[in-house]
Every structure is written in C-alpha cells, then in structure tokens.
Amino acid sequence: MSENTITPLTMPKWGLSMKEGKLINWLVEEGSQFSRGDELAEVETEKIASAVEASMAGTLRKIVAENDTVYPVGALLAVVADESVSDDEVNAYIEKFQSEFVPEESGDEDEGIQAQTIEVNSLNIRYLSKGDGDRVLLLVHGYGGDLDNWLFNHDELVEKTGMRVIALDLPGHGQSSKVVGDANLEFFADTIHAFLQALDIEKAYLVGHSMGGAISLCFASKYPDNVLGLGLIASAGLGDEINNEYIQGFMESTSRKQIKPWLELLFADKSLVNRQLINNMLQYKRLDGVSDALNAVSRQLLDDSGKQGRQFLDSLDTLACRICVVWGMDDHIIPASHTERLPDSVSKLVIESSGHMVQMEAANKVNQFLIDNLLTR
Amino acid sequence: MARKITYQQAINEALDQEMTRDESVIVMGEDVVGGSGGHGEMDAWGGVLGLTKGLYAKHGNRIMDTPITESGYIGAAVGAATCGMRPVAELMFIDFMGVCLDQIYNQAAKFRYMFGGKAKTPVVIRAMYGAGFSAAAQHSQALYSIFTHIPGLKVVLPSSPYDAKGLLIQAIRDDDPVIFLEHKVLYTLEGEVPEEPYTVPFGEANVVREGDDVTIVAFGRMVLHATGVADKLAKEGIKCEVIDPRTTSPLDDESILESIENTGRLVVVDESNPRCSMASDIAELAVTRAFEHLKAPVKTVTAPHTPVPFAKSLEDAYIPSPEKIEAAIRSIA
C-alpha cells in the first residue's frame, strides 16, 4: 500500500439479489495488520454466510460497522490505512464517505444484470452473462448445483480479467429445464456446445466444479477446437473415489433435517450451511422433474460399485489446452488426493481449511489461482 | 423462474398447472367458472374473489358451477374422488362447512379406514377463513381445529404465496381428503414463487426464523404477525424461533419439540377461539412431551371465546395482534 492512502472496506455484493448483509462479527481487531486473503469479518446474507476476505494487505485502522447489524451493500464497514495516516484524516474520510453514501435502492432490480434464458436443443437454459470482453469464460457447476455456486467468483473474475464470464444452470438444475436426455457427460457436453453456438461463441475457457469438471473434460475431449483451457475445481473424472453416501443421501433427502448433514459435508466450515441455503436447496429439490433428473444423472456418474464411472486422468496429456486443478484439503465428497496423480503439465493447488465448495470457502485464492494459471497466461 | 406473484395468483397457478398435467383434476363450486373474457354470465367473477378466474377458458367443462347447495356438491366431489377423479371443491367460506359436514367427516374421512385401505378419496376442499374484513360472525371464523380433530383428514394452512402453490399441488396429488384453508387477508400478499410446478410436503414445518430464546408456533396469517414481532425483538437481543407447521394434520411435532428443547419457552399464536384449539393442542404437546425443558409457563395468544364481531373496532380487538404477541413473549423471555 502506498503512503497516505485510505481504502474503504465495504459490504460486498454477493450475487444479483443481495441488497444488504449482516455483519456477524469481526475476525480481526481494530489496529491490527492483515495480509491479502485473510478473513476480516463474517457476513451473512439471505443466501449464505461467508467471510469478507482482504483483497490486499493493510492495517485495519478504524472499525465502523457493529457486530450483529445489517448494512446495505456498499456501506462502510471499516477503514484501511497505514500508520502514517493521522486519526483526523481517517475520521474525515469516514465523515465524507458516510455523507455521500447512498445505498442501492430496493426495487431497482431491473437495472442490474439479470439472468436470461435461451432455448438450446429444445431445452430452456438459464444463464448469467457478465462483462463484455472478447475472451469468454464459462462456469459449469456440479451435481445438484446452479449458477449461484459462483456467487463469490463471477464478479471478481470479470473485474480482474476483463473477460466475458458466463455461468449457466445445467439441464436438470437450477432454473433450466428438468430434462436430462441420456443424463451422461456427453449429454451435458453436447448441451454446452449447442449453448455456446447459440450465443455465437466459438471458443471458451471452461471452469468446472465437481461434476462440472468432468463435463468440462468431456467437452474438451469431444470438442477440442472450441476450448481454450480448463480450470477444474474439486473435479470429478480425475480418480475413481467419490462419496457415494453423499450422493444417495442428498438425492433422497426431502426435509430440512434430512438434507442438512449432507449439505454440511460440502463445506469445511459447517456453519456456512444456514437456513436460507437449506431452504434454497429444498425449493430446488421440490420442483417437478428434479428428483428424476438427479436420479438419472447419478446412475450415469457412478458405476455399480459406487465409484466414479468415467476417468480422464490418462487422457489429460492428449488434451492440447492448458489445464489447472484446484482442490479443498478437507473435501469430503471427492478426495484432494486425486491431485497426486496429475501429470506435471497440469498446475495444481490444494487449499487448506476448505471443503468441496472450495470456490465459495476460499473464493479469493481460487479466483487468483485461476487468473494466474489459466486466464492470464 | 421465480418471480413475485400474490397468494391468490399462486393458488390459481397451482390449479391451472395441475389441471393441465392431469385430466382427472376438476374444479367445482359456487360461481367458480367466470372470468373467461366472455360476455354476460360468461364473464362472472371466477369465484367470489376471483381465485379461479381464467381457468374456464383453458379447461372448459372441467371447471363447473354448482347449485348453491354445499351438501350436494361437496358430496358429489367426495363421490367423484372415490371413482377416480381428483376434484377440487371450493366451499367459498369455511363457515359454510356446517351444511356439508357429514360428507366430509363421516364419509370422506372414513373411506380409507372402513374399506381396509382399498379405497382412496383424493378430494381437496378449498375454503377461505379468518377475520379482518368485517365480514361478521358467519364469514370470518378460523375453524381449522375442528377438521384437525378428525382422523382421516389432512388440514393445510399456507402462510405465503410459495407455500400456497406448493401445498395446493401436493394436496391435489395426495390420495387422502385434504382441507385446504386460505386466509382471506393473505390473498394480496406478494412473494417469490417459481413458475414451474413443485410440491411442499405435508407434515414438514417451516422454520421461518431461527432463535435460541423463545419458540413461537404460529398458524396461517399469524405467522406474519409472529415474524414481524420476532424481527423487532431480535434488535433488542431477544431471539425468537418462529415455526409455521404449514399443516395441522399431519403435524410436525418433532420440529416443535426440538425447538422447545432448545429454547425452553413457548408462545403459541392461533387466530381461532381458544377452547379445544391448535393453541391448546400445541401447549399440550409441550407440557406432556417437553415439560422438563420448559423454563417458563407456556403462553397462548388467541381470539377470545366469542363469535367474531362485525364492528371494525371490536374485530381488531378480537384478532391476536402483534402487540399481544410481543407482550406474551416479553412476559416469559
């Protein structure tokens, strides 16, 4: 940080619908120094609880926001400035910020970027496109997920790469059609291929999480001319182990009580599974067609012994594009040990204290790794 | 896509989607046709408040007006259900149940049991309930506890547009007779509702707010009052857990007991008269199955043991208010 600069730490905006967040508590004390990536405060939204991570190193000079209090997106939470800045300057900064701050008005949802729906192979596919760069990055969620799984990645990847970043709901998932064809990886890869064609996109980077990783690998094998590179997050298809109990448990759960322990398996920090996250998942699972779709997909993903049915490990070298792999150390769904047999040509990162949803739990680290190893090289 | 629609539109959409999905779903009741965009009689209301408006244009004779004879058409709906149809009969006001109660409690509710499990009666009886419109004593009652008392009936009290749609679709697909009760004050309530069909399971309470200090069990419209009070008290550090059972039969007693075990304090909010009510039922649940966890007396907030008054000022005093709920919580928190 250069001298005499004051940086505001504000309530982040995680996802389109977020208007306000509740500051649960501060994780660093006033006056203490922190490094980039450190967790500064816990914030809870309607959708999820997460930590505000430092995007740079600095000193937390003055805490403005109080614990257990709701603040609008963009509100001043604290002021970051080094020792050379006087208290008066800090206080003047806060006064100025507060006098000029206007919270985003509720009911202005139309002004934000909205998810859209496009018909592809007779399926309605919902997607969210941000940024207008020539280069395109497609985010592919995993089994039972949706485009909100990229809540903490989408905006930052657009900002830091200048690319056009698109997240979609796969068929059978989120708000896309609940029809899954043969329900195998080829079906999803073909749908993505047709989806990109419908959007007039010839080539794209694919970043896939879990089953979305295996789908991305399948896509790269089948359509090598259309892929610029692969980012694989806690990916399926790189080994045969998978937590079959999780798949079955998640699939069969119909109530809050049943599904909670399974959702907690997705995170290293179980407290991230709050009421809203559970409700959102149940609301998805109650939609007509979801249960059949999830069943069909799981039968294709797993073989009779409950192991992963499809492997791409031995064919990674034949894929001409750049590949990077990131995993959470505490992944209880697909073990991080699947990074051990990767060829040397693949850059990899295993992140401590993170579970299967590593792109949510350690968003900054995952984003930076993707930028450094896939998107800006 | 989820978008905001009203409680009333959510109910209309559930009927429309189920009639489209399954030809055996029929709708019958007094003045339920209407609203098809035609002239004269064809352009009537679509139900007394327009709930079924537009369905006739799409589904034709599968939506039918009946004579003003509840005993006749409720009986016909129950009979049609035993013969393979899935009728949704609209009783208009729940207060009219007296005319057709035998068809409900002595016939529909008993068939599965008396025919050794071989008969099913997939009938839904929709009706509006509740005070707040100065509709006087014969059009304002909250009579759900009477149906809850009868084994063989399922009783549903949606408190939001999301629940209204999902619970009604579940009710139509359910093979047992379901009493589906809509609070008339909630019809204009807006909320996010997915466009696609979905079901909300019976017997699964919705934990509307989480908290460790006091458990509030509330029904129907009272869920909104309870949630408002819980949000207010949360700012003072009193954390209430608000539980909306969604169905009184089957009842998710486990979720209620679990919460009481955690908080040790219970307030039940019930718009109906207090004797033999859901309020007394939930209080009984707490004292017989969670007594050792209780740190304070159980409190109930209900209407008084009187008919619903017509005068606006008296009706306001009759309905459990947020102020009364707050006072009950403060008396034990």
Q: Is the pLDDT of residue A65 over 70?
A: yes
Closest CA to A285 of A199, A151, A174, A124: A174
What ipTM does the predicted assembly reach?
Answer: 0.87
Specify if B305 maps to a domain: yes
Query: What is the rounded (10 degree) CA torsion for B289, B218, B204, B109?
Result: 90
Residue B78 shares a structural domain with residue B171: yes
Task: Looking at the complex, report in whole angstroms how far the Cα of residue B76 sits from the nearest Cα belonging to chain A.
Answer: 30
Q: Lowest mean pLDDT: which of A24-28, B154-158, B284-288, B320-324?
A: A24-28
Strand locations in chain B (E): 2-6, 25-29, 63-65, 86-93, 124-129, 154-156, 178-183, 190-194, 206-209, 214-218, 240-244, 247-249, 266-270, 299-302
* Domain limit, last residue, from B148, B163, B194: B194
Question: Would residue B139 show up in a list of annotated catalytic residues for this protein?
Answer: yes
Domains along chain A? Answer: 6-100 (2.40.50.100), 114-375 (3.40.50.1820)
- In this structure, the answer to whether residues B217 and B146 fall within a common structural domain is no
In total, how many domains does chain B have? Answer: 2
| Domain extent at residue B277 | 206-332
A140 pLDDT more than 90: yes
Are both B154 and B274 inside the same structural domain? no
Q: How confident is the model at residue A317 (pLDDT cuts 50, 70, 90)?
A: confident
Q: Where are the alpha helices (DSSP H) in chain A?
A: 87-100, 154-161, 185-198, 211-222, 244-252, 256-264, 275-285, 290-301, 358-361, 363-370
Domain containing residue B285: CATH number: 3.40.50.920
Q: Is the domain of B213 the same as that of B170?
A: no
In degrees, rounded to 5, the angle at the alpha carbon of residue A48 between the alpha carbons of residues A10 and B191 is 100
Indicate if B20 and B137 belong to the same structural domain.
Answer: yes
Residue B297 has pLDDT above 60, yes or no: yes
B160 CA to centre of own chain: 10
B139 plus B240 within the same structural domain: no
pLDDT digits (tens, 9 = 90+) for A252-274: 999 988 999 999 999 999 988 98
Count of CB atoms within 10 A of residue A118's CB? 15
Taking alpha carbons only, the member of A298, A285, A284 closest to residue A253 is A285
Segment B227-244 shows an average pLDDT of 96
Using the beta-carbon criterion (under 8 Å), do A288 and B196 form an inter-chain contact?
yes
B154 inside domain: yes
Nearest CB among A117, A257, A287 relative to B194 is that of A287
- CA max distance for chain B: 65
Query: Which residue is catalytic, options B39, B59, B139, B149?
Result: B139
Write out chain B residues lying below 8 Å of A288, CB-based: 196-199
Q: Letter for the amino acid at B244?
A: D
pLDDT of residue A1: 41
How many residues comprise chain A? 377
pLDDT exceeding 90 applies to what percent of chain A?
65
Q: How far apart are the C-alpha atoms of B291 and B261, rounded to whole Å?
A: 9
In a domain, B184, yes or no: yes
Q: Residues B145-183: pLDDT tens digits?
A: 999 999 999 999 999 999 999 999 999 999 999 999 999
B131 and B22 housed in the same domain: yes
Same structural domain for residues B190 and B47?
A: yes
Flag whether B37 is in a domain: yes
First to last CA, chain A: 26
Q: Would residue B26 count as lying in a domain? A: yes
Decide if B275 is inside a domain: yes
Q: What percent of chain B has pLDDT over 70?
A: 97
Residue where one domain finishes, among candidates B137, B161, B194: B194
A70 backbone dihedrals φ, ψ, rounded to 5°: -90, 130
B231 shares its domain with B90:
no
Residue B199: inside a domain: no
B235 and B306, same domain (yes or no): yes
Asked if residue A233 lies in contact with residue A339, where contact means CB atoms within 8 angstroms, the answer is no
A236 to chain B, closest Cα gap in Å: 29
| Set of chain B residues whose Cβ sits within 8 Å of the Cβ of A66 | none
Average pLDDT for chain A:
91
Across chain B, what does the average pLDDT equal? 95
Do B1 and A178 make contact, defined as CB atoms within 8 angstroms?
A: no
Q: Which two tokens stand for residue A236?
A: 């399926």
* pLDDT-based confidence at residue A110 (cuts at 50, 70, 90): very low
Residue B327 falls inside a structural domain: yes
Same domain, B220 and B172: no
- Compare B34 and A61 and report the one with higher pLDDT: A61
Which residue is associated with the tokens 């989607």?
B17
- Both B250 and B305 in a single domain? yes
Q: Tell me, what CATH number does B137's domain have?
A: 3.40.50.970
